[in-house]
Structure 1
Amino acid sequence: MSRVKLTVHVSPDSGESSGSTVAIGDKAIKQLKIPAGSPITLRFGAFRQSVTAVGGGPADGLRLSAMLAHRMGLHTGAKLSAGYRQGSRTLAIGPLVGVLVSKVYPGSADGQLFGSITSFCRELTIAAALSGAHVFFFTPNEVNSGQTITGWSYRGGWRKSEYPVPDVVYNRLTTRKLESKSSVQHFFKEVKTRYQTTVFNERFLNKTDVFQALKQNAACLKYLPESYLFRGFDMLKSMTAKYPVVFLKPVTGSLGKGIIRISRCGNGYCCDTTMAGGVRRQTFATLNGLFKSISARLKAQRHQIQQGLQLIKIGDRPIDFRALVQRGSKGDWVITSTVARIAGNRHFVSNIARGGTIARVEETLTRSNLPSSALNTTRTQLRRAALDIAEGIEAQVGGHYAELGVDLAVDVSGKVWLLEVNSKPSKNDASPAANVKIRPSVKQTLRYARYLAGL
């Protein structure tokens, strides 16, 4: 199927007020092989309208009546990819991408309509226009079972409009509470079954579920430290007898919050807990005494118990790695970026929210205590592990995912291990809107959206 990029022109002419005629530039009519003067179907997201396509329209685009443009949520100047399907006599434009965000702040004095991800939303908007897609943003308050969604798009400023149900919904909700709302879950189900919309990254991942699922995947087994859903003191006793260090991690935690490290120290045990300002250390003469001190916390929230690893370090600061793995223009998994994360002072986790710093992989591996003989194989293994794990998630874990933050570690022998998988990698670090630099990850998201929509 041939594709072209068309610029939308909205015409107020009364002769087109019915919306039954669209005018397309002669060159595009010929390239797309559209039968001029015959009825075809115009498609944009879930929107369908029988129209007659005629030539003689704008040389660079598509002229729509004001009424038709309003129903589609389009405006003059929108640049959209277009393809004509001969079999169904359908002119498809877009794709239309809806990004589900947690909240909007319409009255914000600094213009940060979407809070800390506003720059990312602008970046995505600019990248969409360059790729021929159209993107809008909406919250759980705007989801319903109708055929339209109220959302925000950028046209010299953030503006609110009605849009058709999109081809693709990109879930950027930041809390499990919002994501589990019955209205949101009903919306996901409705648009998938009724409109064949693809919803990707539709749910948060659970640490224990991920590890249990990946145990069923032969390619992923070698990356998994011993790990279980924590069941009680006997499990703690068994794991601490087997390993000098074990970790207890909240199953639904993020940003390194509430992670507990238990290690042998002297004749007793040390218990280190991540806190906002650093690490709180407590020492106990017995394991039973340690368990009693943390049992209330373990009852309040489910935890995963995991084998501790002897990670490579720079000085006394542990290192791990974040690989951003995304689906590409052909639907396959590709690595968009990999960075090293170096733990901050007084921390044993590398999360940026806990004082960690980002660094280049090559430089970090070279500066670390990893044997130089293992450098080349470790670089290769990090990439292979990230792809294996993304493919394992696809095969073993329910839901449709298009981007994953895969956190990996390397021990002092050069072996690569999986720490966790994040289905909502942070988008808070976009470039300032005044000087937007479009990141490869944003371009990749839109390539995949176009692949899904066949555009």
Structure 2
Amino acid sequence: MKALLPVKCKDSLKDDAILIPDALKDRPVSSIAFGTLQYACTPSYHAGGTLYVSKKIYEELLLPYEGKIHLFVQEDVLHLGPLIGIFTAGFTNSIVRPIGERTLFFSKLLSTEKKVGAYVFLFGANHINWEDGTMEGYMFSDKGWSRKKVPFPHVVYDRLPNRRTEKHKLLSETREKMQKDYAIPWFNPGFFNKWDIHQKLMIEESIVPYLPETSNKVTIEKMERFLSDYPFIYVKPMNGSLGLGVYKIIYNREEGHYYVRYKNEDLQNKLMRFSSLETLLGTVMKNKDLSGYLIQQGIPLLKKDDSHIDFRVHTNKDENGKWMVSAMAAKLSGKGSVTTHMNSGGVVKTLSELFPDEAEQTEVTDKLKRASLLISDAIDTHLPGFIGEIGFDFGMDRDKKVWLFEANSKPGRSIFYHPKLRNEDILTRKLSIEYAVYLTEQTIQHPDGILS
């Protein structure tokens, strides 16, 4: 049973007393819990719609503030929540900007808690007190940031900023301990590896048509074969992001020369010409470990005003644990850029801006939606752990066939700078919290651990 009700502290109640709305009278209650803390209680009932708890219980459970939250009753225990911990790194000593330049993003994310009915806090590995099962969490309100002592959460949302941080020994040990020793669901626990995702998706017959030919063997022979079959190829890192480290290679048969476009270490777009692939690799990819790269078939994309177009689609799980499309936008490449990323001069457009013809807009939208939901389900099936959101980069060729370029477990949010995507920005944040509500309910119903 689940209900969304205001919870308030009432000084006049005895230490172990709680006052429950009559609407919940049919479920017996002998104790009350918040996160990993639990306290024996004596319930009585009233005609109102608010749950009142004694000052003693309010303080013992470390409730951070009075508010409207979910109530779950399971085996005589009244659970308050969810209490959602957002795990990250890079904390500063400033209470105004506790997470540096990412503070604005997290303040927006945490500000959705009241819309959903949840307590949400930020924490890092150093904020955990393993001895008494509490944390020093950062919470956000209209008055700004504050630090509060809270119990271990019902669920953890992983927002580590990059792959390097994710591999840090203390952080990985923290994640493992909370999952194994406390059976706390931890969602979006890792960055995707491009080759791993490609291999798993190749198992699904319905998804193979969306996948460009890809190889993890970056050799001269393999590149020559790809260039004989396709107009151009990409060489990209398996664990890359933001379009960094991507090389677009074209063979001009008339000239007998190879051209490569890429972004150098100074983030400048470069175009170079070589007489052989050996020289090209020895120059632009010198000292690179090619075992960490892929070769991928190049797709001649739809174009608009001389710019190539690809698409970003966000999918999220909702409060029922079901996938839905939460945002969709087009990205136009910058001049001389290999990719459409904004840091390479790319421009974001809504699909209505890009396709003023309603029939064409509907066709493109439906194709992208179908592909993203199908692939979200497949990734969810074949990867371990709890996945709550995915960001897809799709291409569409001149015949409007959809191609999957990349799937991201921690998608960037640059498309939401577009003023017409504000509602989608809010929705994606809200859905992350709603999925945590779903996981909390599953955890309470299955205390020995839930299947991902």
TM-score interval (norm. to shorter): 0.7 to 0.9
Which residue number corresponds to residue 117 of structure 1?
A: 102
**2:71 aligned residue:** 82
Q: 8 Å contact 2:39–2:61 — kept in the other structure?
A: no
SS at match of 1:212: helix
Distance 1:72 1:137 in 2: 18
- The match for 1:148 among 125, 129, 134 is 134
Within 5 Å, which residues of 2 pair with 1:33-432?
33=25, 40-55=30-45, 60-66=50-56, 68-85=57-74, 88-107=75-94, 111-143=96-128, 145-146=130-131, 147-155=133-141, 156-265=143-252, 266-275=255-264, 277-299=267-289, 302-366=292-356, 376-427=362-413
Partners of 2:182 and 2:31 lie apart in 1 by 16
Once residues 236 and 328 of structure 1 are traced to their aligned partners in structure 2, the CA distance between those partners, rounded to angstroms, is 42
Contact 2:309–2:395 (CA<8 Å) still a contact in 1? yes
**Conserved 8 A contact 2:313-2:328:** yes
Question: Residues 14, 60 of structure 1: CA spacing in aligned structure 2 closer, same or farther, 3 A cutoff?
Answer: closer
**Contact 1:23/1:56, CA 8 A, preserved across alignment:** no
- Count of aligned pairs: 432
Structure 1 Cα separation of the partners of residues 226 and 130 of structure 2: 49
Q: CA deviation at 1:376?
A: 4.3
Structure 1 SS opposite 2:111: helix
Residue 430 of structure 1, CA deviation: 7.4
- Distance in 2 between residues matched to 1:298 and 1:144, nearest whole Å: 42
Structure 1 contact 9–77 (Cα < 8 Å) conserved: yes
Q: What is the rounded CA distance, in whole Å, between the counterparts of 2:363 and 2:110 in structure 1?
A: 39
Q: Counterparts of 2:409 and 2:178 in 1: how far apart (Å)?
A: 21
| 3-state SS, counterpart of residue 38 of structure 2 | strand
SS of the aligned residue for 2:289 comes to helix
Change (3 A) 1:342 1:137: same
Instruction: Call closer, same or farther: CA 1:71–1:407 in 2, change over 3 Å.
Output: farther
- CA offset at residue 291 of structure 1? 2.5
Change (3 A) 1:187 1:53: farther
RMSD of aligned residue pairs (Cα, Å)? 2.7
Distance 2:359 2:6 in 1: 54
Alignment match, 1:31: 23
Aligned counterparts of 1:378 and 1:14: Cα–Cα separation in 2: 60
Taking the aligned partners of 1:254 and 1:4, their CA distance within structure 2 comes to 39
Partner of 2:429: 442
- Cα distance per residue 1:199-230 (max 9 Å; x no partner): 11000001111111111112211100001113
Flag structure 2 segments of 5+ consecutive residues without an equivalent: 443-452
For residues 136 and 226 of structure 1, do their structure 2 counterparts lie closer, same or farther at Cα, with a shift above 3 Å needed?
same
145-154 or 205-214, which deviates more:
145-154
**Cα distance in 1, alignment partners of residues 127 and 206 from structure 2:** 41
Q: Is this contact kept in 1: 2:319–2:431, CA < 8 A?
A: yes
**Matched residues in 2 for 1:299 and 1:123: separation?**
39
> Secondary structure of the residue that 2:336 maps to in structure 1?
coil
Q: Given residue 291 of structure 1, which amino acid in structure 2 is its aligned partner?
A: L
Which amino acid is 1:454 matched to? Answer: E
Identity among equivalent pairs (%): 25
**1:323, 1:339 within 8 Å by CA — same for their partners in 2?**
yes
Alpha-carbon spacing, 1:427–1:166, altered in 2? closer, same or farther (3 Å) = farther
For the residue of structure 2 that corresponds to 1:330, the secondary structure is coil
Cα separation, partners in 2 of 1:422 and 1:297, compared to 1, 3 Å: farther
Provide the C-alpha distance between the structure 2 equivalents of 1:231 and 1:430, rounded to a whole number of angstroms: 35
Please tell me whether the aligned partners of residues 125 and 171 of structure 2 are also in contact (alpha carbons under 8 angstroms): yes
Are the equivalent residues in 2 in contact too, given 1:153–1:159 (CA < 8 A)?
Answer: yes
Cα offsets for 1:116-135 (capped at 9, x unmatched): 33233222333212322100
Query: Which residue type is aligned with residue 367 of structure 2?
Result: Q
- Secondary structure of the 1:107 match is coil
- Equivalent pair of 1:24/1:59 in contact (CA under 8 Å): no
Write the distance in 2 (CA, Å) between the matches of 1:264 and 1:300.
20
Determine the C-alpha separation between the residues in 2 that align with 1:22 and 1:249: 61
Amino acid at match of 1:299: D
SS at match of 1:189: helix
- Looking at structure 1, the residues matched to 37 and 121 of structure 2 have their Cα atoms a distance apart, in angstroms, of 15
Which residue matches 2:447?
none
Tell me by how many angstroms 1:236 deviates: 1.6
Structure 1 pair 176–440 and aligned structure 2 pair: CA distance change class (3 A) = same
Please report how far the alpha carbon of residue 197 of structure 1 lies from its aligned counterpart in structure 2 after TM superposition: 1.7
Q: Deviation at 1:251? A: 1.1
